[in-house]
Amino acid sequence: MFNQGKFRLIATAVLAAILFSVFTIFVFSDASPTVSARGAALFSPDTNTFLYEKNGDTRMPMASTTKIMTALLAAEIGDLSQRIKIPREATGIEGSSLYLCEGEVLSLEELLYGLMLRSANDAATAIALALCGSVSAFAEKMNEKAEALGLSDTHFDNPHGLDSENHFTTAKDLARLGAAAIENETVRRIASTYKITIGEGESRRLIVNHNKLLHSYEGSIGLKTGFTKKCGRCLVGAAERDGVTLVSTTLSAPDDWDDHKRMLDYGFSRLTCYARLAPEQFQKEIAVLGGKESTVTVKNSEGFSLVEEAGLAEVKMQVRLNPTAAAPISKGDVLGQILYLREGRLLGSVSLYAAEDIPALQKKKRGFWPF
């Protein structure tokens, strides 16, 4: 016999379980990740905000994540094609090494690959000596760059990260350094390389990147590993998905690979890229009135990106560009705009410029018949 009361009780219990599950997902889906690191940070360069931190402002040693600054500084002040003869002072450096030999010659670019992929301390020393004459002089340049980037809790004593009392950073400073590094095309290219052969003849070496995130995390673009007994395992990661870029850092992390995956997953769940325009992505020809050419190319020189919290209303792009323009036109003249709007509210704009000069047609002079 059908028991209506029992059925209602079961139905109520099932409904309560479903509602509890939905409530749990809604409330706790935004829960911060659990990380093993003593210090950690997750930074969004797009929004200039930290999405997560754990002891983010605590000064700690950084091991070979130091080499991010070494690479960035070298890429900015050095010539990648410069041939560097390895001095005795750059050989036999303890820790990770390319096992450089005195007198062998490598380019700065090759040494940078050794620095970032193999984490070679001898390569770091050779770079410092070649560019600044001494390790201490190069360290001064590193500190000047740190100050310029606003890294107020960072100090460098050397270009490789071997233990030193006055060599430290914080998880948040390191994340900002990582963000600056991936803005540099050379550093980004080298740090995201999985393996490469450098040198020639007896100096030829195959080097493989120590960063496991490159082949284990979708969208990974680097950045640098580090380890000493004093520092523990250190790691700076960076990844990009669907227009969103994130930089993750851990200092003294027993489970660093999983720490970074959890932080990055969390970050990508939090943010969405609502609009993205690369420099010179928009190009269109419009008619020219009274010009020596019948059309002019119009394009954007600046890019645009809008990354915000996920779940907001969509952003619409509106192009404001007249179908014609009157000559004369000078290269760089603003001829239109691209507007980005959400529910009628302007969020940003990009100017559209003339890509070339279009002189006006010269009017023909009227001739006169003699009487």
pLDDT greater than 60 at residue 221: yes
**Residue tagged active-site, from 44, 54, 64, 224:** 64
Q: 5: Cβ–Cβ under 8 A, 6 or more apart, which residues?
A: none
64 is catalytic: yes
Region 92-101: mean pLDDT is 95
Residue 123 contacts residue 111 (beta carbons within 8 Å): yes
Residue 187 contacts residue 72 (beta carbons within 8 Å): yes
119 is catalytic: yes
pLDDT at 31: 82
Region 153-179: mean pLDDT is 97
**Residue tagged active-site, from 44, 96, 97, 119:** 119
**Residue tagged active-site, from 54, 67, 141, 145:** 67
pLDDT greater than 60 at residue 296: yes
Span 62-89, pLDDT tens digits: 999 999 999 999 999 999 999 999 999 9
**pTM (2 decimals)?**
0.86
152 is catalytic: no
Measured CA to CA, the distance from residue 220 to residue 85 in angstroms comes to: 34
Q: Kindly list the structural domains of the chain, giving each domain's residue range(s) and its CATH number in brackets, ordered by start.
A: 39-270 (3.40.710.10), 278-354 (2.60.410.10)
Would you state the structure tokens that stand for residue 300, as one six-digit string?
A: 């954007």
Q: Interior CA angle at 305 toward 301 and 309, to 5°? A: 170
Region 329-344: mean pLDDT is 97
Task: Tell me the percentage of the chain whose pLDDT exceeds 70.
Answer: 90
Measured CA to CA, the distance from residue 306 to residue 276 in angstroms comes to: 7
Confidence of residue 129 (pLDDT cuts 50, 70, 90): very high
pLDDT greater than 90 at residue 368: no
